[in-house]
């Protein structure tokens, strides 16, 4: 078994498990492909998303007889990868996708990069040309290990069929432990066909892989002391809190200390937005209270986040007066972007539990921050979320999403594509629970929403799943609606159609003198006609053009549960995402609605209606 992780001759690690741990289970004779399927079943995998091809025909023959493993036939391998990601994010389990060699495998590159940047546990199993043909430029040969090495947590090629159970178990273990991420297993066609003696469980011997999940007590104590002495602390919460299932521990810490919270794009739902200490989402399109909380703080308590550039803007002017506590399970992230006063390496669940214990069980003084909370509450009152009505009489997309949130509620799972609709969804949906918000954060992958929503529904069939997509994103992966229709996943899709690549158009409006270079997708005529297209793909389709049609359309979509539903909302092309911070600039220069003054200089004393914001910005 060749792998990107170096092997070692050292003594077996604590993770090693004897292959004969259960002496009552005799070895079984089967081929390598059957061993792949059996290994996945033994590991508790229930669903695999894939598309067959020549180099995985033995695997598909094994799937034909699988008893416990459901295969979902996608229409494009990219859809398989995003579906696996959506499955993992909604369920908390590992997502698995399957593709053939060459173009099948390379079509997984984007989903793998997406999962890598968002730390999502997926395992991609790819077929490879037969061992004798490797390196000969054979038909549909591609060095998928070499191609994906920079965008996978680990990858390997199995050259010995006897090692298939170990390879699959290793892949799942690495993908789901420590900082989660994608793992690729490449298996030549002849290796899949060879017979082996299958035994379970296999030995896992990974001496170089020992994620540190337990934070050091001394660092926890130092962090608690800093928090106790702070006057303007803020919890800067990232997606790692959701991945570690630490939402309850986060709530306990906040209730014990009274420290206000901001949640990044990847952490929405980790802390209830209805809670009075939640300040919102920070960053380029974050709320004024969240951005203000970070900029004016004297202590950042960063948990499970990586100081992404979309949050920090210019790092030299980001939270300039704050000391920093940074806790992350990946030591490479701690101190990578910002100098840290107290570094903590460990699982977010344990970190938050340890910090709470320092204040509750050990009696450390909680910070005295009533004036700080009052300041942030004032920002919440002065700068509520709002939007400008559309001057062309078309629907405001924010109104659509706000109405959807009210009608459907916070128990549903919402999946977004990338662009303006993603930011509007992050701003105007109400997130109260973890694993109810799924989107492509780090890579920003257009075309993500439809297949990821399909995967989310497969992972949580008990949940109502809504994809919020734009007309640009939708045209990249809408073929997976057919997958959803034929495989029985009645997802709902709110299609925000402004006839443009909206976010690019917004930047062209603001920074390129309105030079709309190749961003217009449609016109006054519907090309494509998304209603007809969606119906052809197997979905029910509804077009909405006025405010009074919005609620009935949403209600109708919710009533249909035997097939997917696409609700197309025709919105204005000039709607923009506010607030906004220009990329790489000072976060203190946040622009609110159409007012370009820095928020620190604003003197509004009361909340303004969207109409008032619009009039003031003219």
Q: Is the peptide bond before 579 cis (omega within 30 degrees of 0)?
A: yes
- Residue-wise pLDDT for 427-453, tens only, equals 999 999 999 999 999 999 999 999 999
Helix, strand, coil % (nearest 5) of the chain?
40, 15, 45
On whether both 178 and 53 belong to a single domain, the answer is yes
Mean pLDDT of all residues in 266-279:
98
When pLDDT is cut at 50, 70 and 90, the band that residue 22 belongs to is low
Mean pLDDT across the chain, nearest whole number? Answer: 92
320-341 average pLDDT score? 97
Task: Give the percent of the chain with pLDDT over 70.
Answer: 91
Residue owning tokens 């005799």 = 26
Q: Per the domain annotation, does 618 fall within a domain? A: no
Q: Using 50, 70 and 90 to split pLDDT, how confident is the model at 392?
A: confident
Task: Please give the pLDDT value at position 618.
Answer: 33
401 and 373 both lie in a single domain: no
**pLDDT at position 607 over 50:** no
Examine the fold and report which residue of 319, 348, 382 is the final residue of a domain before the chain moves on: 382
599 flagged as catalytic: no
Q: Which of 30, 78, 163, 189 is catalytic?
A: 189
Range of the domain at 378: 217-382
- Ramachandran sector of residue 245 (left: φ over 0; alpha: ψ -120 to 50; beta: rest): left
Does residue 464 lie within any of the structural domains? Answer: yes
- Is residue 345 over pLDDT 80? yes
pLDDT tens profile 579-592 = 999 999 999 999 88
Instruction: Clarify whether residues 148 and 51 are in a common domain.
Output: yes
Q: Are residues 110 and 162 in the same domain?
A: yes
> φ and ψ at 531, to 5 degrees?
-65, -50
pLDDT (average), residues 192-202 = 97
**Considering the domain boundaries, does residue 362 fall inside one?**
yes
- CB burial of residue 586 (10 Å; 0-12, 13-18, 19+): middle
**How confident is the model at residue 525, as a pLDDT?**
64
Which entry of 5, 140, 222, 475 is annotated as an active-site residue? 140
Q: Is 168 contained in some domain?
A: yes
Q: How many domains does the chain have?
A: 3
Whether residue 16 has pLDDT greater than 50 = no
Instruction: Based on the fold, state whether residues 260 and 351 are members of the same structural domain.
Output: yes
> Is position 140 annotated as part of the catalytic site?
yes
- Residues 6 or more apart whose CB falls under 8 angstroms from that of 2 comprise 145, 156, 157, 159
Cis peptide before 181 (omega within 30 of 0): no
Q: Are residues 440 and 365 in the same domain?
A: no
Q: Where a domain ends, among 342, 357, 382?
A: 382
The verdict on 193 and 249 lying in the same domain is: no
Which CATH number belongs to the domain containing residue 48 in this structure? 3.40.50.970
Q: CB–CB of 439/467 below 8 Å? A: no
pLDDT band at 24 (very low <50, low <70, confident <90, very high): low
More confident residue, 327 or 24: 327
What are the Cα distances from residue 388, in Å, to 127, 288, 517?
Answer: 51, 17, 24
Estimate to the nearest angstrom the gap between the alpha carbon of 66 and the chain centroid.
Answer: 30
Cis peptide leading into residue 528 (ω within 30°): yes
Q: How far apart are CA 151 and CA 438, in angstroms?
A: 20
Q: Is residue 391 part of a domain?
A: no
Catalytic, out of 16, 28, 68, 139: 139
Q: Are residues 281 and 430 in the same domain?
A: no
Mean pLDDT of 43-66: 97
Residues 367 and 444 in one domain: no
Model confidence at 389, in pLDDT bands (50, 70, 90)? confident
pLDDT at residue 54 is higher than 80 = yes
Let me know whether 263 and 327 are in one domain: yes
Lowest mean pLDDT among 6-10, 18-22, 413-417: 6-10
Residue 6, in any domain of the structure: no
Residue 437 lies in a domain: yes
47: nearest Cα among 75, 73, 78, 76: 73
Q: Which one, of 450, 473, 569, 452, lies nearest residue 521 by Cα?
A: 473
Q: State how far the Cα of 473 lies from the Cα of 501, in Å rounded to an integer.
A: 9
511 as an active site residue: the answer is no
Domain final residue pick, 198, 225, 248: 198
- Give the 3-state DSSP-derived string for 143-203, with helices as H, strands as E and coil as C: CHHHHHHHHCCEEEECCCHHHHHHHHHHHHHHHHCCCCCCEEEEEEHHHHHCEEEECCCCC
CA-to-CA separations, 404 to 301, 393, 573, 578, in angstroms, rounded: 33, 20, 20, 19
| Contacts of range 15-21, beta carbons closer than 8 Å, 24 or more positions apart | 15/173, 15/204, 15/205, 15/206, 15/209, 15/210, 16/203, 16/204, 16/205, 17/201, 17/202, 17/203, 17/204, 18/203, 19/199, 19/200, 19/201, 19/202, 19/203, 20/199, 21/201
Q: Which two tokens stand for residue 338?
A: 């910002």
469 and 549 part of one domain: yes
Q: How far, in Å, CA of 85 to CA of 81, rounded?
A: 6
The whole-number pLDDT of residue 26 equals: 76
pLDDT of residue 5: 38
Looking at the domain assignment, is residue 122 inside a domain? yes
Q: How far is CA 206 from CA 68, 116, 217, 346, in A?
A: 29, 21, 26, 19
Residue 524 pLDDT level (bands cut at 50, 70, 90): low
Catalytic-residue membership of 431: no
Q: pLDDT tens digits, residue range 531-571?
A: 999 999 999 999 999 999 999 999 999 999 999 999 999 99
**What does the pLDDT average to over 470-498?**
98
Whole-Å CA distances, 130 to 105, 185, 186, 216: 15, 15, 11, 48
Catalytic residue among 77, 163, 388, 487: 77
What confidence score (pLDDT) does residue 1 get?
52
90-118 mean pLDDT: 98
Are 304 and 165 in a shared domain? no
Task: Say which residue, 604 or 248, is predicted with more confidence.
Answer: 248
User: Per the residue annotation, which of 279, 281, 503, 580 is the catalytic one?
Assistant: 503
Tens of pLDDT along 66-87?
999 999 999 999 999 999 999 9
Please choose, from the candidates 378, 431, 366, 375, the residue with its C-alpha nearest in 3D space to the C-alpha of residue 405: 431
Going by pLDDT thresholds of 50, 70 and 90, the confidence category of residue 387 is confident
Q: What per-residue confidence (pLDDT) applies to 256?
A: 97
pTM: 0.92
In the prediction, which pLDDT does 522 show?
A: 78
Which tops the pLDDT comparison, 117 or 8? 117
pLDDT at 4 > cutoff 60: no
137 Cβ partners below 8 Å, 6+ apart?
A: none
Does the annotation count 189 as an active-site position?
yes
Residue 146: pLDDT band (50, 70, 90) is very high
> Over 70: is that where the pLDDT of 601 sits?
no
């Amino acid at each position: 078994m060749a792998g990107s992780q170096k092997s070692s001759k050292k003594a077996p690690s604590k993770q090693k498990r004897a292959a004969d741990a259960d002496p009552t289970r005799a070895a079984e004779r089967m081929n390598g492909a059957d061993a792949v399927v059996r290994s996945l079943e033994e590991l508790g995998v229930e669903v695999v998303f894939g598309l067959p091809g020549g180099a995985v025909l033995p695997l598909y023959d094994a799937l034909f007889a699988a008893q416990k493993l459901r295969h979902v036939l996608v229409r494009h391998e990219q859809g398989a990868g995003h579906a696996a990601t959506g499955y993992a994010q909604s369920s908390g389990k590992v997502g698995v996708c399957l593709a053939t060699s060459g173009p099948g495998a390379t079509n997984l590159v984007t989903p793998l990069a997406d999962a890598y940047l968002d730390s999502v546990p997926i395992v991609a199993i790819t077929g490879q040309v037969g061992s004798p043909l490797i390196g000969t430029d054979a038909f549909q040969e591609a060095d998928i290990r070499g191609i994906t090495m920079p965008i996978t947590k680990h990858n390997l090629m199995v050259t010995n069929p006897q090692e298939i159970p170990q390879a699959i178990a290793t892949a799942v273990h690495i993908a789901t432990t420590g900082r989660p991420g994608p793992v690729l297993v490449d298996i030549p066609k002849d290796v899949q066909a060879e017979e082996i003696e299958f035994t379970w469980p296999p030995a896992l011997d990974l001496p170089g892989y020992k994620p540190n999940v337990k934070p050091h007590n001394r660092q926890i104590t130092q962090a608690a002391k800093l928090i106790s002495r702070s006057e303007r602390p803020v919890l800067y919460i990232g997606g790692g809190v959701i991945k570690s299932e630490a939402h309850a521990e986060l709530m306990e810490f906040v209730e014990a200390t009274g420290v206000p919270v901001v949640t990044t794009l990847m952490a929405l739902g980790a802390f209830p937005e209805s809670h009075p200490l939640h300040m919102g989402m920070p960053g380029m399109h974050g709320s004024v209270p969240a951005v203000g909380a970070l900029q004016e703080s004297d202590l950042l308590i960063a948990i499970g986040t990586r100081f992404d550039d979309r949050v920090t803007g210019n790092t030299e002017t980001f939270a300039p007066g704050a000391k920093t506590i940074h806790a992350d399970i990946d030591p490479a992230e701690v101190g990578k972007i910002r100098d840290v006063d107290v570094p903590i390496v460990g699982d977010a669940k344990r970190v938050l539990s340890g910090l709470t214990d320092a204040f509750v069980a050990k009696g450390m003084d909680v910070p005295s921050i009533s004036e700080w909370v009052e300041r942030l509450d004032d920002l919440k009152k002065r700068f509520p979320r709002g939007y400008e009505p559309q001057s062309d009489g078309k629907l405001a997309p924010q109104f659509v999403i706000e109405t959807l949130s009210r009608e459907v509620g916070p128990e549903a799972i919402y999946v977004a594509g990338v662009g303006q609709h993603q930011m509007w969804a992050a701003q105007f949906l109400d997130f109260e629970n973890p694993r109810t918000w799924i989107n492509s954060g780090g890579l920003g992958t257009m075309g993500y929403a439809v297949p990821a929503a399909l995967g989310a529904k497969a992972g949580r069939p008990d949940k109502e799943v809504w994809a919020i997509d734009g007309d640009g994103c939708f045209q990249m992966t809408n073929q997976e609606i057919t997958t959803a229709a034929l495989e029985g996943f009645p997802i709902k899709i709110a299609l925000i159609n402004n006839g443009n690549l909206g976010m690019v158009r917004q930047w062209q409006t603001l920074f390129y003198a309105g030079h709309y270079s190749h961003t217009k997708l449609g016109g006054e005529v519907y090309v494509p006609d998304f209603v007809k297209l969606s119906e052809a793909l197997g979905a029910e389709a509804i077009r909405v053009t006025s405010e009074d049609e919005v609620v009935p359309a949403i209600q109708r979509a919710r009533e249909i549960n035997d097939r997917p539903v696409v609700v197309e909302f025709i919105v204005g092309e000039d709607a923009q995402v506010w607030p906004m911070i220009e990329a790489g600039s000072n976060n203190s220069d946040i622009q609110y609605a159409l007012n370009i003054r820095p928020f620190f200089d604003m003197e509004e004393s009361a909340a303004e209606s969207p109409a008032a914001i619009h009039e003031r910005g003219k």
